[in-house]
């Protein structure tokens, strides 16, 4: 069970560390802008060999991708634990970009995964706006 993140700021990484601790799961690892062109499978293998994935600067992550929220990626995390993470974030009105690693995503570069997740987030936002106008 591993949780990875591409944080949008130091506070979001600290929040993820806190939630991970509260839920008794291993501390999260995080990816950097230097990992953007690396295939996810290689990033996962690197972490399983004990190499730490630590960036020089979280702000460099944001400036290179423009992410509006932290990206949190679950690898072999039980479904109930994922739901616990979602509930923990929602209880504070936070909504990071969540993803579960699949066979297909393991073959993508980190940049491609983030791009697809952000596209999904935009579609989600459009759906929410559409639903909100229907209820008015």
Which stretches in the chain have pLDDT values below 50?
Answer: none
pTM of the shown model: 0.83
What span, in angstroms and rounded, lies between the C-alpha atoms of 61 and 55?
9
pLDDT at 133: 75
pLDDT 10s digits, 90-101: 998 988 999 999
pLDDT score, position 132: 72
Q: Rounded to 5 degrees, what are φ and ψ at 129?
A: -65, -40
Q: Residue 110 is encoded by which pair of tokens?
A: 């980190």
Would you state the pLDDT for residue 22? 95
Sequence spans of domains, the chain: 2-134
Q: In the prediction, which pLDDT does 72 show?
A: 94
């Amino acid at each position: 069970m591993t949780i990875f993140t591409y944080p949008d700021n130091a506070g979001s990484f600290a929040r993820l560390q806190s939630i991970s601790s509260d839920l008794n799961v291993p501390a999260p690892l995080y990816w950097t802008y230097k990992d953007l062109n690396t295939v996810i499978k290689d990033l996962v293998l690197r972490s399983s060999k004990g190499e730490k994935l630590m960036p020089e600067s979280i702000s460099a992550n944001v400036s290179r991708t423009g992410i509006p929220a932290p990206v949190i990626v679950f690898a072999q995390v039980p479904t109930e634990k994922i739901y616990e993470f979602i509930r923990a974030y929602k209880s504070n009105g936070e909504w990071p970009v969540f993803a579960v690693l699949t066979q297909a995503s393991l073959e993508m570069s980190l940049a491609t995964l983030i791009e697809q997740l952000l596209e999904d987030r935009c579609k989600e936002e459009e759906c929410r706006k559409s639903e909100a106008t229907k209820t008015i």
